[in-house]
Amino acid sequence: MEAMRQLQAKRVVIKVGTSTLVYPDGAINLRAIDQLAFVISAMRHHGREVVLVSSGAIGVGLNYIGLKQRPKAIPEQQAIAAIGQSELISIYKERFAVYEQKIGQLLLTRDIFVYPKSHQNVMNTFEALLAQNIVPIVNENDTVAVDELDHETKFGDNDQLSAVVATNIDADLLIMLSDIDGFYDGNPNGDTGATLLSHVAKVNQATYTLAGGTGSRFGTGGMVTKLKAAERMIKADSQMVLANGADPTIIFQILAGEPVGTLFG
């Protein structure tokens, strides 16, 4: 039997992918959102500081206006993100209220972390929210973040955003919930011999060679973006766990040190 893990988890960033929040048919997974609110509220009540980085704005927006496919035009995507983000935060507020936990919303772009003054301002906001026992819910500001702008505003995906946030606020641990059980030494969808790696001490070119492909049709992330996030966490002397978010209560197992998913670092 695999040994229990030793994790530092006083300040934790949880990243939840669209695949956890939105069913493959586009419907909102209210059960998963409720479980997420329950787990995070329990963590807060036990003295942990928690930041939630949540994807799902476009997925929820598509469901809200009855579209099955993400449009290709950027302005249309941004409009759907604006609709979906307000709906998503309303659902979060409702579910967290059940567990008497207050939340706050931060919509970020990459340049906020580049310019010293805006960087300091957003760090002050994070610290003030956490000091007041409020859970910051973070997403990329999709209504303005596009690659075509003169200065780089886009993180590219919320895997990168979660690692940037985690390293900037000196989080001990990043828990990344996705639609996969962890990191494998092959493609589990096509290779029956692919083995789940419980622990990856460092991320190098060989690690990237094992990864490839993108995620669900509602999301943007793939394994490469998760490895980049893990690499960033390891360089900051922190840890990351990649696990399946189908049941967000898996977070309790992770925090207890159970060998679920893949531990990086």
Binding-site residues from annotation: 15, 55, 142, 158, 178-179, 220-226
Output the known binding site for ATP. Answer: 15, 178-179, 220-226
Binding site residues for substrate, as ranges? Answer: 55, 142, 158
Residue ranges in the chain assigned as alpha helix (H): 18-21, 30-45, 57-65, 74-98, 111-114, 116-131, 158-168, 205-209, 223-235, 250-255
Query: Three-class SS of residue 33?
Result: helix
**CB hemisphere CA count around 138 (13 angstroms):** 28
Cα(17)–Cα(160) distance, rounded to whole angstroms? 12
193: burial class by Cβ within 10 Å (0-12, 13-18, 19+)?
Answer: exposed
- Quickly tell me which residue has 């893949």 as its tokens: 262
Spatial separation of the C-alpha atoms in residues 249 and 65, rounded to whole Å = 30
